[in-house]
């Protein structure tokens, strides 16, 4: 057999050689990609520089506070009763404590008896002298007059006898002395009778009236102390702290308990004067309370007051020539928040913390 030569197969389209890219197109795409990468890197660097260079916001922290009334004992004694507990809501005038002091109660009764005595003495003076006493004084006057008449007659006889030499001078002197004694007795009896008829003088009545007022003042003083044995709530509020238990002996000035008025709650911040220089009463700013789930609270400033020398300060110069005082800023929530309680923390960004 003889081999017949086969013609070569035609080339398929996919087997055609691909055209090579032009050099100018390849270099342009690389430049665009490099430019994009450069711009991205520049943006990242710029944002990083801005983030690092930007000022950090100043966070100030404060806390909620409320009107607090500390009630102390004014009379010593032993706590006999305490019908309230910590956390209990009380009304104004509600009983908080009863203090036992038997000695003070006894003094009060004694003072009341003193008033009764003084009033009885005044009534006796104002009633005047009894009729029996006046009659007795009158009888004494009549008796003194009779004695004076007898002494006068005796003196006259002795004087006549002495003039004729029938009586001695000693007897005459004795009669003269007896006559003078009788005159004095008559004068005393007459003055006593007149005093009985006239009664007490206005000065004696004034003294008796003053004694009544003095005794009554003593009663009022001790009564005021007795009233302090019962301690009542001066305001409506909640019992915050209890300082004395039943059976415990307390002295004047010892704290018994504290009440807080939850209807009068404010937010307190302590700021250096360089931070508080632009604040004024009436400004409003926003803050948040972590205990309330970071709830935003808008508060209005009502008090800006400097604190004492002991408060924190910072020197304005390296040499310490001047210092920055600390001010207490008190702001009240614009909308009352019953859930806001004393002691809760609040914070705000300063000065751009949403001040309005």
* Low-confidence residues of the chain: pLDDT under 70: 1-29, 50-57, 308-323, 351-356
What's the pLDDT score for residue 134?
78
What's the pLDDT score for residue 29?
66
Q: How many CA atoms lie within 13 A of 9 on its CB side?
A: 4
Backbone angles phi, psi at 194, to 5 degrees: -65, -40
Distances (CA, A) of 181 to 20, 86, 173: 172, 86, 12
User: Helix (H, G, I), strand (E, B), or coil: what is residue 233?
Assistant: coil
What's the pLDDT score for residue 125?
83
What's the pLDDT score for residue 116?
94
What's the pLDDT score for residue 25?
47
pLDDT in tens, 248-303: 999 998 899 999 998 889 999 888 887 877 888 988 989 899 999 889 999 999 98
Last residue of a domain, one of 199, 215, 241: 199
| Cα torsion angle, 302, 308, 313, 315, sign | positive
The verdict on residue 243 lying in a domain is: no
Tokens of 277: 């220089």
CA gap 60, 288 in Å, rounded: 11
The verdict on residue 136 lying in a domain is: yes
The verdict on residue 21 lying in a domain is: no
Domain shared by 192 and 265, yes or no: no
Domain shared by 195 and 272, yes or no: no
pLDDT in tens, 122-159: 888 887 777 777 788 888 888 888 888 888 888 888 88
Domain that holds residue 346: 58-64+261-350
The verdict on residue 175 lying in a domain is: yes
**What is the CATH classification number for the domain harbouring 287?**
2.40.30.170
Last residue of a domain, one of 145, 177, 199: 199
The verdict on residue 149 lying in a domain is: yes
Whether residue 351 has a cis bond before it, omega within 30° of 0: yes
The verdict on residue 210 lying in a domain is: no
The verdict on residue 172 lying in a domain is: yes
Domain shared by 193 and 268, yes or no: no
Q: What's the total number of domains in the chain? A: 2
**What is the CATH classification number for the domain harbouring 185?**
1.10.287
What's the pLDDT score for residue 18?
52
CA gap 236, 242 in Å, rounded: 16
Domain shared by 190 and 270, yes or no: no
What's the pLDDT score for residue 312?
52
The verdict on residue 246 lying in a domain is: no
């Amino acid at each position: 057999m003889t081999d017949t030569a086969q013609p070569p197969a035609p080339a398929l389209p996919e087997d055609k050689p691909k055209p090579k890219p032009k050099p100018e197109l390849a270099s342009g795409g690389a430049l665009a990609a490099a430019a994009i990468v450069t711009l991205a890197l520049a943006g990242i660097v710029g944002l990083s520089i801005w983030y690092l260079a930007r000022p950090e916001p100043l966070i100030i922290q404060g806390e909620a506070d409320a009107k607090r009334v500390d009630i102390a004992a004014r009379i010593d004694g032993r706590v006999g009763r305490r019908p309230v507990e910590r956390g209990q809501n009380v009304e104004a005038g509600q009983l908080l404590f009863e203090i036992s002091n038997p000695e003070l109660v006894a003094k009060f009764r004694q003072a009341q008896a003193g008033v009764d005595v003084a009033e009885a003495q005044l009534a006796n003076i104002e009633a005047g002298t009894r009729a029996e006493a006046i009659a007795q004084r009158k009888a004494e006057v009549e008796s003194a007059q009779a004695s004076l008449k007898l002494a006068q007659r005796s003196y006259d006889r002795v004087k006549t006898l002495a003039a004729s030499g029938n009586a001695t001078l000693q007897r005459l002197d004795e009669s003269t002395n007896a006559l003078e004694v009788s005159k004095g007795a008559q004068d005393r009896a007459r003055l006593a009778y007149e005093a009985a008829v006239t009664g007490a003088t206005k000065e004696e009545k004034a003294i008796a009236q003053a004694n009544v007022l003095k005794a009554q003042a003593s009663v009022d003083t001790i009564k005021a102390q007795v009233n302090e044995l019962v301690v009542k709530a001066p305001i409506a509020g909640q019992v915050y702290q209890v300082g004395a238990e039943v059976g415990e002996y307390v002295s004047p000035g010892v704290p018994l308990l504290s009440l807080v008025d939850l209807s009068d709650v404010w937010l307190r911040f302590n700021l250096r004067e360089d931070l508080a220089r632009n604040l004024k009463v009436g400004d409003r700013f926003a803050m948040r309370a972590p205990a309330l789930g970071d709830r935003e609270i808008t508060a209005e400033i009502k008090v800006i007051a400097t604190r004492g020398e002991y408060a924190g300060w910072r020197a304005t110069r390296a040499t310490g020539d001047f210092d920055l005082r600390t001010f207490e800023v008190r702001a009240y929530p614009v909308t009352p928040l019953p859930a806001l309680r004393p002691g809760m923390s609040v914070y705000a960004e300063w000065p751009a913390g949403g001040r309005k």
